[in-house]
Amino acid sequence: MTADPYQAARASAARLAELSGHDRHDVAVVLGSGFAPAAAALGPADAEIPLADLGGFPPPTVPGHAALARSLAIGQRRVLVYLGRVHLDEDPPQAVVHGVRTAIAAGATVVVLTNAAGGINPGYRVGQPVLISDHLNLTGKSPLSGPPPPAGYPPRFADLSEVYSARLRALARESDPTLAEGVYAALAGPHYETPAEIRMLAVAGADLVGMSTALEAIAARHLGAEVLGISLVTNPAAGLADHGLDHGEVVAAGAEAAGRIGALLASVVPQVAPA
């Protein structure tokens, strides 16, 4: 990736337009661990592009994440779907948010971030989608650190008073009134949390825990995009079940419930951005 991550995003967006045949994408969707079947629920793609062909995208190394992007139409919206992401334990913050910045450089005004999460809230069950109302960024990192953005970009001191759009959450609840909302705690990983850490997070107000999403949401809000966050509860958090945690089970749970995530996205995405 070049020293200027914003220029790198513009270059990837230009390559996306060339390979997809579409100059603009209105909405970006990032799929979480094991969620690839949700992409099928969104509809057929006009183009499927290896992320390596766009430049600036390191390959994901976590099982359940594919290094592919799809371009498709949902209603009158042109949608860019990432079938996976890299995490902070794999690559630095600028690489983690490169997909989001590329999508916004390509015209996206809405970014939908999905993830597999551990459930801290005792009212949550495995397989349940939860709207993210806010987050705790406990990674110790920010995608806005480093040199100031170049001329024409907002300053680094982004307002995070409303990271996850109330408007978009309301649209999601219109599609599925049973959706709960919760606070997502983002940790750096790759190891899972200890039971003591989960108890601490619960006291701090977290309902969900995972290793993604927060940095992408910060980068999107910095550039003015609206963010919709959806967690799928794939397991009880550490110490809240009578067994340990295993990433294979997380991916399997994500794949099993991916159809519901896909149906929810297919219902919500046509409403979220101007045609």
User: For 149-169, how does the pLDDT look when each residue is reduced to its tens digit (9 = 90+)?
Assistant: 999 999 999 999 999 999 999
Identify the residue whose tokens are 């099982």.
63
Torsion angle in degrees (nearest 10) through CA of 124, 246, 257, 107: 100
How does DSSP assign 125-181, residue by residue? -TT-EEEEEEEEE-SS--TT-SSPPPTTS--S----TTSS-HHHHHHHHHH-TT-EE
Q: Is the pLDDT of residue 97 over 70?
A: yes
The average pLDDT across 237-244 equals: 69
Torsion angle in degrees (nearest 10) through CA of 259, 264, 265, 266: 90
Mean pLDDT value across the chain: 90
Which band of pLDDT confidence, cut at 50, 70 and 90, is reported for residue 1? Answer: very low
Q: Which residues contact 137 (CB under 8 A, 6 or more apart)?
A: 186, 214, 215, 218
Q: Is the pLDDT of residue 82 over 70?
A: yes
Host H or E run for residue 103 = helix 98-105
Cβ distance 61 to 68 under 8 Å?
Answer: no
According to DSSP, the residues that pair with 131 across neighbouring strands are: 181, 230
How much of the chain, in percent, has pLDDT values that exceed 90? Answer: 69
Cβ distance 275 to 35 under 8 Å?
Answer: no
Which band of pLDDT confidence, cut at 50, 70 and 90, is reported for residue 246? Answer: low
CA geometry: angle 12, 90, 253, nearest 5 deg: 100
Q: Is the pLDDT of residue 212 over 70?
A: yes
User: For 3-31, how does the pLDDT look when each residue is reduced to its tens digit (9 = 90+)?
Assistant: 799 999 999 999 999 999 999 999 999 99
CATH 3.40.190.10 fits 5-272, yes or no: no
Q: What's the rounded Cα separation, in Å, for the pair 172 and 267?
A: 8
User: pLDDT value at position 35?
Assistant: 75
Q: Is the dihedral of CA 134, 274, 254, 94 positive or negative?
A: negative
Identify the residue whose tokens are 């359940």.
64
Any idea how long the chain is? 275
Identify the residue whose tokens are 């929810």.
264
Burial of 242 (0-12, 13-18, 19+ CB in 10 A): exposed
- The tokens describing 218, both together, are 């910060």
The average pLDDT across 212-228 equals: 98
Q: What's the rounded Cα separation, in Å, for the pair 102 and 95?
A: 11
Q: Is the pLDDT of residue 111 over 50?
A: yes
The average pLDDT across 252-263 equals: 74
Q: Is the pTM here over 0.85, yes or no?
A: yes
The average pLDDT across 49-71 equals: 86
Identify the residue whose tokens are 């190891």.
191
User: pLDDT value at position 238?
Assistant: 76
